[in-house]
Every structure is written in structure tokens, then in C-alpha cells.
Chain A
Amino acid sequence: LCSYGSMEKYKAPRRIRTVGDNCLIGASGEYSDFQSVMDTLEGMVQDDVNYDDGEKSDAKSIHSYLRAVMYQRRSKMNPLWNDIIIAGKDFLGYVDKIGTTYEDSFIATGFGSYLAIPILRSKWRPDLTEGEARALLEDCLRVLFYRDCRALNRIQIAKVQGDDDAVVSDPYELETNWSGFEATKGDMDGDGGW
């Protein structure tokens, strides 16, 4: 979901994209800044093609490059207002608008760091199968839809495993079950008041 203040303006934006065929980039924050970052990265991929020397940018070097860019922009007091996740073969990293970086087995931005990370910390195992991993992510996104009033239940899941198989799914809707929330409704008395 791409919001315009509190207006749900674009309901199915591409917030996860591939870079080359071996890297995934996902971003929160200012969508236009994300688009600008993608333009730069696509230029980088084209440069690799033009050099024609067998070298291909991998997720790690893209992560390092974005770090340098984000930190430089923040130092010039003109940041790219994004929190970015970079994924590739054997790599998962994070860069934010002030150039902070970290790598971990699971990463989240925005509300996800408050709501999804505890779930992931509890449920993640190094030997998760793909199906289990997808289900885990869907559970996290579901909770985010329940609890973040600026979220939608339309999501995308992306996967990358080897050197050339990065792929992003089409947007699809998560199934939700609001029956458990009846208890929180409280006594409305017709006006939802205190």
C-alpha cells in the first residue's frame, strides 16, 4: 500500500523489485525516493553488462553501495527517505535513511520491527522449508494488517535462491479472520463512545 498521508492512494504498488536477476530490493518510506534508487541500481546493472567482463553485481555489493549513498545523502542533510531491505543468495541486509546497516536471518521495517520481529524471533529456524517460510511471512503480514491501521491485506512475496532466479509474486490478498476481535469491540451503545 502506498499512502498519501492517511489516504490509501495506491493499493498495489511494486514495493519489492528485482535488481538484475540475482537480487531483491524492498523498501518502505517515500516511494519516489525508492524509484530513484531503483533507477540508479538499474544503471549499475547495465554498467556491468557494458563492461562485459564476467562480473555481476551481487546483493552484498549492492547493499554496500546503497549504504554509501544513503549515508552521503544524510550527511548532506538531503536524505533518501527509505528503509531498504536487500536480499540475494546467502544474503539478507538492511539499509535505512541515515545509512545504518545490518544483516540478519530476518529483517523488518516500519511497524514490522515492532509487530513482526517478535513473531519471527520465536518462529524462525535455520532449516525452515520454503512453504513454512512463506506461511510465516504471511502470518506476520496478517498481524500487521490487523494492527496497523495504515496497512492493507494485499501483499507480495518474493524469493531468490541462486545466482539468477530472483522473482517477485503478483499482489494477492491475505485471508483474514476478524472473529477473535469481537471481544475488543466493547459496549458500543450505538455510538462507539467511552
Chain B
Amino acid sequence: KSSKKADFVAMHRNMYDTDVTVFSPEGRLLQVEYAMESTKQGSACVGLRSENYVVIGALKRSVNEMSSHQKKLMEIDGHMGIAIAGLTADARSIAKWMRNECLNHKYVYGSAMPSKRLCEELADKHQRTTQTYVRRPYGVGLLVAAYDEATGPHLFQTCPSGNLYEFYATAIGARSQSAKTYLEKHFEGFPSTEKDDLIVHALKALSGCVTGDGELNKDNASIAIVGKDHKFQLIEGENVAVYLDKLEVDGGGTEGGGDGDAMEE
């Protein structure tokens, strides 16, 4: 019986997945789901927050040994930054819009854009693309890290579907389940975690997302931190090597790394 349903679904996928404005018989928007697949194909990003800081990290892919590593973390404003997984070009377009909104807010109101408001508008922007013929959803998932004077640190996730989630800690992208497992194990201690330890946690979570024979090093690891009295700061290259050394001292971060591939959703 269940295989019959699967056959039905498989057969009908082709009929209902051409336009983003068409529902499938199960009430799904297949184009939106395909866009979410794009996010899952991007390399892993993690985010976690403490009482005063938010740390985001990403695994930077390089096409081959001769090429540079793809930038995954972007600053939006002094108090806000994003990690991207999926179509980089779509992410850059979104980042440009977010930067513009933050600057306009600063010009008019003389203060930093509240992160929740911007993310809600961003989520609505995503939704609009799922309800019109002439556009396609954004093929990228974002982790938005921000520190608001009034309400403290925030970590949001946006999806091509237009959904918005807020997290204490999360991960997206390829093999992110391993990172999520690590974060689930440790997140309750994060609020009181010191800044440097928070970064090490992020790297440990990321290290589980590397492909079997790869390793986390100063070229493919990327960290950023923002928080109370701490403007958005990118930590890469030699600066992140310092933290990677701490990882080795602590006995490496491959907890749950082995389970990563099998449990990828």
C-alpha cells in the first residue's frame, strides 16, 4: 500500500513541480521543496549563542586545489552578520538588500536595525517569491546572527519557503545533522559559556560535517562573532588557526562525526 502511494507521488511529481504556484495532490509546493534541497547541498554552517554573544561558523568549499575557498560568512551591519548555504549568488543579492535596509534604518532612526524586524521582512520577501508566476524562490538558507541593544543576542534561520525560525543553536547544509547532534548535546551550557569557548564549540560542531577524509583547517574553517560591545568580527586564516589548535588540545571534535553521513536528512 505504501509503495503504491510512493508510485503515485513519484508519477505525479512531474505534473505538479514545474510552476512554483502549483500545489501537488498532497498539498505541497514542490518547487519550494526543491529550493530547500539547494540549501541542503551547500556546505555546512553552524550558529550558537550565549548570554552576550552569537557565533556563526561555516565550512568553506573549494572547487579544486587551485581555487579559493568560497566565502560563506558576510557582514550585514556592525551588529549583524549571516552564514549562507546554497546558491551563493542568491545569498549575495539578499545580503545587499539586508545591508541597504540596515543603512536606511540607521540614517532615519539613528540606531541599529532591530534584527527580528529585519528577519521577518526577509521571511516575507522569501514568501512572496513562492506565490507568483514570474519568479522563483531564493535557493539559499541563511543563519542570521545579531546582537540588539534592547533584546540581546539572536540567531535566526530563514528558508526558501519563507519560514523563519529562532534558535539557541542550529546547523544547516550538507552533513549538518552531525553538527546538530553535537549542539543538542551541549547547548544547555551555552548561555554561560565564555566567548572563546563558544568559538571552539562552533568549530567542534563543524568538524563533524567535513567529508570522510577531509579535515578542518585554517583555509576551510570560517568563524564570525558578534555580541555585547563586540562588533561583527570575521575570524579566518591565521586568526582561526589559534582556535583550531585548541580543538586539537581538547582531543579533536569528531564527536558524532561518524554518524554524519548516514543520518543526513
Residues of the A chain whose Cβ atoms lie less than 8 Å from the Cβ of B107: 68
Taking a contact as CB atoms under 8 Å apart, the answer to whether B114 and A61 are in contact is no
* Mask: chain B, 99-118; 1 = CB below 8 Å from A; 0 = not: 00000000111110010110
Does B151 sit at the interface, judged by CB under 8 A?
yes
Min CB–CB distance B32 → chain A (angstroms): 26
Q: Which residue of A lies closest to B104 (CB)?
A: A68
Residues of A within 8 A of B151 (CB): 53-55
CB distance from A119 to the nearest CB of B (A): 30
Q: How many residues of B contact A (CB 8 A)?
A: 12
A60 touches B108 (CB 8 A): no
Whether B6 sits at the interface, judged by CB under 8 Å, is no
From A53, A54, A60, A68, contact of B111 by CB (8 A): A60
A57 to B117, CA, bound (A): 13
Contact of B109 among A51, A56, A64 (CB under 8 A): A64
Q: Decide if B108 touches A55 in the complex (CB within 8 Å).
A: no
A61 to B107, CA, bound (A): 10
CA distance A53 to B120 in the complex (A): 11
Whether the pair B108, A68 counts as a contact (CB closer than 8 A) is yes
Q: Give the shortest distance, in Å, between A58 (CB) and chain B (any CB).
A: 8
Known: A51-B117, A53-B116, A53-B117. A64 touches B110 (CB 8 A): yes
Write out the residue numbers on chain A whose beta carbons fall within 8 Å of the beta carbon of B11.
none
Asked if A142 is an interface residue, CB under 8 A from chain B, the answer is no
Interchain CB contact under 8 A, A61 and B150:
no
Contact with A along B38-75 (1 / 0, CB 8 A): 00000000000000000000000000000000000000
In the docked arrangement, what's the CA distance between A18 and B148, Å? 26
Q: Inside 8 A of B116's CB, which chain A residues have their CB?
A: 51, 53, 55
The complex places the Cα of A57 from the Cα of B110 at a distance, in Å, of: 11
A97 lies within 8 A of chain B by Cβ: no
Chain B residues within 8 Å of A61, by CB: 109-111
Any chain B CB within 8 A of the CB of A65? yes
CB within 8 Å of A: which B159-203 residues: none
Q: Which residues of B contact A64 (CB under 8 A)?
A: 108-111
> Which residues of B lie under 8 Å from residue A51 when comparing CB positions?
114, 116-117, 120
Q: What 1/0 mask marks residues of chain A from 100 to 123 whose CB sits below 8 Å from any chain B CB?
A: 000000000000000000000000
Q: Roughly how many angstroms separate A64 CA and B148 CA in the complex, as a whole number?
A: 18
What residues of chain A lie closer than 8 Å to B117, measured between beta carbons? 51, 53, 55
**Among residues 35 to 61 in chain A, which have CB atoms less than 8 Å away from a CB atom of chain B?**
51, 53-57, 60-61
Q: Name the residue among B108, B120, B148 with the largest chain A CB count within 10 angstroms.
A: B108
Bound CA span A177–B117, Å: 56
B contact residues around A68 at 8 Å (CB) = 107-108
Given the interface contacts A55-B114, A55-B117, does A65 sit within 8 Å of B150 by beta carbon?
A: no
A60 to B110 CA separation, bound complex (whole angstroms): 7
Q: How far is the CA of A128 from the CA of B129 in the complex (A)?
A: 58
**What 5 A-B pairs have minimum CB-CB distances, sorted nearest first?**
A64-B110, A61-B109, A53-B116, A68-B108, A55-B114
Where the two chains meet, the residues of B that have a C-beta atom closer than 8 Å to any C-beta of A are: 107-111, 114, 116-117, 120, 148, 150-151
